[in-house]
Amino acid sequence: MPRNIPLIIEYIAFLGLICCLVIYNTNPVFLGIVISFVAIESLMEAFKIRLKKQISHIYTVIIIMSGLITNIIYSGFHMAAIFPVFFIGVLIIISQYIYIPEHRKNQQEA
């Protein structure tokens, strides 16, 4: 898959997440989950760390389920609670499963 398509999808999902956070006035607990997700992803990119397959599945489930449970508890079960979790799910799936940095491709080929 060309690099541009996942990057464009990631940009749109990030814009959607920001819009959801502003429009729906998100609770502080979910905002803390989003901030921790962004911090972990930034550190993984900075240190060029890639999680193993099993750990990546656990990481994905923990982030998505904690965001979903938090939003359902604080906001109730409606679209305003689901949209931010959907966008963060798209971001995490692209970052963990679709996008492979160039240095990682070179390591796999060698």
pLDDT digits (tens, 9 = 90+) for 26-71: 788 888 888 898 899 889 888 888 888 899 899 999 999 999 999 8
What lies within 8 Å, CB to CB, of 87 at 6+ separation is 13, 14, 16, 17, 20
Per-residue pLDDT for 5 more than 70?
yes
> Between vectors from CA 40 to CA 38 and to CA 46, what angle results, nearest 5°?
100
Q: How far is CA 98 from CA 8, 28, 55, in A?
A: 12, 30, 16
Q: How confident is the model at residue 3 (pLDDT cuts 50, 70, 90)?
A: low
> Angle between the 79-93 and 53-75 helix axes, to the nearest 10 degrees?
170
